[in-house]
Structure 1
Amino acid sequence: MRNDSLFQLQDANTPFAGRHLIDGVWQGEATAEFHSYMPAENRALPWTFPEAGSAELQALMQSAQTAFGQYRQTSRAARAAFLRQIATEIEVLGSVLVETVMAETALPQARVEGERGRTCNQLRLFAGLLDEPAASTYLPAQPQRVPLPAPELRLDTVPLGPVLVFAASNFPLAFSVAGGDTASALAAGCPVIVKAHNAHPATSALVAQAIDKARQACDLPAGVFQLVYAQRHDFSAQLLQHPVVKAVAFTGSELLGLHFQKLIQQRAVPVPFYGELGSQNPLLLLPEQLALHGAAFATALAQSVLQGNGQFCTRPGLVFVPDQPETGAMLDMLTGSFTATSLVTLLTAKIAEGYRHSCAVLNGLPGVTQLAEGRSALVEKGCQVLPRLFITDAMRWHELPQLQHEVFGPATVLIRYRTLAEIAAILPTLKGQLTCTVYGTDQDLQALQPLLPLLVDCCGRLIRNQMPTGVEVCSAMQHGGPFPASTDLRFTAVGTASYQRFVRPICWQNFGG
């Protein structure tokens, strides 16, 4: 058993040996081969972690299955209390958590504190949902109905079972160990197994500690929440294909997500796979809006693309701008914003390498021009990259399928169009998106009306006159969309409706109201 004091990391030079949390016990021996990393300094941290194997897999699944039998029977009030206690325990971690996240991600303090607030708020949001009576539909029996009597029917939901959550890299708190997937699954009555992300393992240990303390305080089964570390891909495959797992939540690359989906379909009994795989979040600037508010648009776009160093899944990566007299001034402003930047630090060296490769591909495409690049006396290396701005013409769209490949990082592609007819020809070819955004006046929108159904078909959230970076966590949010934005466009990964991913309908006939 591991004492809490061993989790009190002091600074980036303090050795720390992490462990798995399995069946309520911290176990497994850390190895030097699996260590945390400090992207800001491109160096390893003295924080090491264990590698899971067959013994850990068996223990995880046995504990989760046992816990499900008990946890599914808990009251909504008990689950609400658990979620609120998790939020409290995360807040109790204080500066230790903030400093650990900053060390492992290079995210600034204000961003980390804001994400911590979002994480705790969404836990409490689900608790509030559980405070309300469970939704059900009841129809009384009609024994006198002719020609046949009608039975008594009640439509309800039941939890699916143990849920496997793959923590995301770009939101080390809000989409990670205690993020929206975990919160919604626990709210639904499902035990959770989290595969910690290799980019922030110490952060994962701290948050797991908070969840386990909340579990103990609420006297819940040990297997309600478990955390496991693994760098090997074959262990992730074994997790995905284990029969105890009844649903999987994943946020990551399209390539890995498709691989996971294939593995799940190979199971003897396939289960739901809720994957968020990628989005370019196209943005359409309309003519009158540009003429009246071009400068404000340029400022907002630069801020949105560069926010979080471009590592938001809602970053606008394809921006359609009209080719008209005011376009030049707007482009000058955008170019100035990008050239005023310097090296920025991405979450991992792998992400940075992928970003540099994607930008090199764009720069080599015929008809694509790099308008701007950040300036630095230092060379891009490790986790450090330069922001970039590209431009091409709408007439080349159909010749350049590479434009639809997501560039994860601080870059965007401007696409000049002359008429809305060019946009109408492009929209049916767009891949599924989390968001589509329109910047336009009322007069602009009147001209755009015939194209709105095409925009709706592309995305899960259609936005007007506001950048897509920023997702409100509430009951009215849809964070998902047609493939590859998500693998099941009927559900959201953000907001209280995400609870529906981890329950299924059950009809009770003649059991009483």
Structure 2
Amino acid sequence: MQILGETIIGQRSVRGDAGEVFALAAATGEKLQPAFGASSLADVNTACELAEDAFDAYRQLPDERRALFLEAIAQGLLDLGDTLIERVHQESGLPKPRLEGERMRTVNQLKLFASLVRDGRWHGAVIDNALPDRTPLPRADLRLRRIGIGPVAVFGASNFPLAFSVAGGDTASALAAGCPVIVKAHPAHLGTSELVGRVIQKAAYDTNMPAGVFSMVIDKDISVGQALVSHPLISAVGFTGSRRGGLALVAAAQARPVPIPVYAEMSSINPVFLLPAALSARADSIAKGFVESLVMGAGQFCTNPGILLALESDHLEAFVAAAAHALSDKLPTTMLTPNIHGAYCNGLNSLHSASGVELVAEGKEAESAYQARPAFFRTDSATFLANPGLEEENFGPSALLIVCKDADDLRNVATKFAGQLTVTLHVDEGDHTIAQALMPTLERKAGRILFNDFPTGVEVSYAMVHGGPFPATSDSRSTSVGATAIDRFLRPVCYQSVPDSLLPPALQQGNPLDTWRLVDGHLTKG
């Protein structure tokens, strides 16, 4: 499949006339061919109008049709073969084996949502049969189901150019919910975005979807993204990226005459609690696991372990020594973009110059431009609490250890953390009392709590939560990974005394979809 530098508007491909933009090679910063034509505001409007025209037809398709569409996208990604992986590697600098794994994760997300659509539970069907003889007042026949919220704008992420981008979790869950999608391609991987966008376009054609079910626009500056979020036909937004970018979209969405939800996954430092008995039993292995998690993907994961907390002890010092030794052997790795590399270096400079913060260890020096040198720092709880800037995410392979005096000090620091995607505890049997005391606080702080593991790596499954309280996300009730990600793009509708022949299939008396429903308070397939 050839990359042409074009915008995708439904089943048409057009060259944007709002200027030229280029993707850059992550390793060198050089321009990659071809030049892309930036989308105009007229392109944005056309895509939104097409999506609105497609919405009712698409959301009312039989569940099987939408499931087949999602599966066709998944197969198309596999059919691209090395063409896709090579381009992603050029644009992101990520290793090819990592990208092969990410492609399978993307494929599996699409298949998960296809399965979810087929089983019908996403309808959330509830039936309260009429009680005409109830006294003092009769009850009408009441039935509830969920429908798609409307056309959805999706903003691709820099750090997951496949799994959180054009065909990633936001797109897959919105399409599963019956919502047309307009993607704003991430400027760091324009070629990747076009390849994947053409796969979705072809899958839509092959499965006879409405023309406006998918579009993809390209930006030269922030005006395209702002116009997309502000457009009156867009009903929700999915975003993964920086806090500044996410909050700008939230502000634009709230400033509309009709505000809409923005599901923004933004920033997290993912605290890791190293409890005493665990360090006593296995300080060395925990240290090695921590370092591997820290440097994975040049530290460019939303779930990178950026903060460690532990009680002062000889066992902690053994952990620090082991981590320093493991980190000192780590090679620098290319970061996703020159801008991300620059921000990481600025973050390192701030940590180096911060009063009361000590450098523990660094990886090997960078050998070329845009490589990240891993770094590990330490401080004490009093210094951390007195300097709010130390809690800011430094996106990349750096971490800060906070040494606490006792369990009360540890719990006090935990209460001061902002919202997180994850928190992790390394515990042994002797740590259960401390862990139990921490759990109520940690439940309020994070969307996922891990024991004796590290947070990098997010399983695509029914139980997964990849979300959390602000500023990890803009809406703590949602997740961007896992089956319940579909909930973001659905809303409930109640049908009162509607004739059976006019009800949607999920609510008809004979249950033609053969799906589970809550009928008069009882879960049944009847």
Deviations 1:310-331 (A, max 9, x none): 0000011110122111222221
Equivalent positions of 1:107-506 (< 5 A) are 107-133=94-120, 134-376=123-365, 378=367, 381=369, 383-506=370-493
List gaps (5 residues or longer) in structure 2.
501-508, 510-526
DSSP-derived class of the 2:364 partner: coil
Q: Is 2:57 the partner of 1:57?
A: no
DSSP-derived class of the 2:468 partner: coil
How far does residue 404 in structure 1 lie from its aligned partner after superposition? 1.1
Residues 19, 30 of structure 1: 8 Å contact kept: no
Deviations 1:52-102 (A, max 9, x none): 112212211111111112111111111000000110111110110011111
What residue identity is the alignment partner of 1:264? A
Query: Which moves more between the two structures, 388-397 or 159-168?
Result: 388-397
Residues 32, 48 of structure 1: 8 Å contact kept: no
Residues 151, 179 of structure 2: 8 Å contact kept: yes
How far does residue 33 in structure 1 lie from its aligned partner after superposition? 4.1
Give me the whole-angstrom Cα distance separating, in 1, the residues matched to 2:434 and 2:226: 50
Residues 18, 39 of structure 2: 8 Å contact kept: no
Q: Is 2:70 the partner of 1:83?
A: yes
How far does residue 418 in structure 1 lie from its aligned partner after superposition? 2.2
Deviations 1:190-245 (A, max 9, x none): 00000000000000010011111110110111110101100211221111100000
DSSP-derived class of the 1:414 partner: strand
DSSP-derived class of the 2:43 partner: helix
Give me the whole-angstrom Cα distance separating, in 2, the residues matched to 1:211 and 1:140: 42
Residues 31, 49 of structure 1: 8 Å contact kept: no
Residues 23, 226 of structure 1: 8 Å contact kept: yes
Give me the whole-angstrom Cα distance separating, in 1, the residues matched to 2:54 and 2:201: 14
Question: TM-score normalised to the size of structure 2?
Answer: 0.93
DSSP-derived class of the 2:237 partner: strand
- What's 1:11 paired with? none
Residues 424, 450 of structure 2: 8 Å contact kept: yes
Give me the whole-angstrom Cα distance separating, in 2, the residues matched to 1:377 and 1:53: 40
Residues 97, 206 of structure 1: 8 Å contact kept: yes
- What's 1:101 paired with? 88
Work out the number of aligned pairs and report it: 498
Residues 19, 38 of structure 2: 8 Å contact kept: no
Query: Which moves more between the two structures, 339-348 or 351-360?
Result: 339-348
Query: Which moves more between the two structures, 81-90 or 438-447?
Result: 438-447
Q: Is 2:2 the partner of 1:6?
A: yes
What residue identity is the alignment partner of 2:386? E
Residues 30, 48 of structure 1: 8 Å contact kept: no
What residue identity is the alignment partner of 1:387? P
How far does residue 49 in structure 1 lie from its aligned partner after superposition? 0.7
What residue identity is the alignment partner of 2:29? N
What residue identity is the alignment partner of 2:441? L
Deviations 1:383-424 (A, max 9, x none): 222111111111222211111100100111111112111112
How far does residue 441 in structure 1 lie from its aligned partner after superposition? 1.0
Q: 1:489 to 1:330 in 2, by over 3 A?
A: same
2:14 to 21, 27, 30: 27
What residue identity is the alignment partner of 1:303? E
DSSP-derived class of the 1:52 partner: coil
Give me the whole-angstrom Cα distance separating, in 2, the residues matched to 1:417 and 1:445: 18
Residues 278, 484 of structure 1: 8 Å contact kept: yes
Residues 23, 59 of structure 1: 8 Å contact kept: no
Give me the whole-angstrom Cα distance separating, in 2, the residues matched to 1:157 and 1:327: 51
List gaps (5 residues or longer) in structure 1.
8-16
Identity %: 40
DSSP-derived class of the 1:6 partner: coil
What residue identity is the alignment partner of 2:277? E
| CA RMSD, 1 decimal | 1.3
Deviations 1:432-484 (A, max 9, x none): 00001110112202233222101111000111111011111111011100001
Give me the whole-angstrom Cα distance separating, in 2, the residues matched to 1:272 and 1:480: 15
Q: 1:348 to 1:30 in 2, by over 3 A?
A: farther
Q: 1:239 to 1:413 in 2, by over 3 A?
A: same
